[in-house]
Amino acid sequence: MQNKCKKCGCDDAIPVAPCLDPTGCPEPQKCEETFDTDCISYNGADIVCSGDIIISSGDSVSTALESIVNLACDVLKPLPNATIVANSNDTLTCTATSGTPPYTYQWSIEQGLFNGHTIASGANTNIVTLSPITTNTLLVGGIGATTGAVNMTHLKVIVTDSIGSKATRYYTYAKLV
């Protein structure tokens, strides 16, 4: 790069500061140069974050800056928070807060073959209704001679907000039968 500034600071070199010693430079001028960031290429090794290439060798400075801003925005955007509450009649309600509404919901059963329930309805809503599998009822012993049975299921819900941020919550639902 050739310096095209005349008398930047105290000489024709590009200074860090216009003039460190004003006595030897009575009228210092700040040297400014601008470049089109689409015309400057990054030529170092690919810059990687969590296995993803953020900036590739050969990217323009404008592309690199955009990638950095996008990464920062992804890290800083609020994630949805979700809470699950069991209601009566084998229903669970997931309430999402923070993040950017509207929210989508995806319920699933996260337990091997011995599920206590199936999802009867609402797998893609904030309220899911379960249906007990009577053949998968567990007998439980109580205090003294009291015994009973329980249907138990481990559920997962993924809440996604409108900009793609996700929260995953797990809930173990048990109902005495």
Q: Which of 63-72, 88-97, 103-112, 136-145 has the lowest mean pLDDT?
A: 136-145
Predicted TM-score (pTM) of the model is: 0.57
Q: Which of 100-114, 135-149, 154-168 has the lowest mean pLDDT?
A: 135-149
Parts of the chain belonging to CATH 2.60.40.10? 81-176
Mean pLDDT value of segment 102-130: 91
Q: Are 162 and 143 in contact (CB under 8 A)?
A: no
Helices (H), the chain: 61-76
CA distance 172 to 118: 13
Question: What is the pLDDT, as a whole number, of residue 10?
Answer: 47
DSSP helix/strand/coil, 176: strand
Residues 81-176, CATH architecture: Sandwich (2.60)
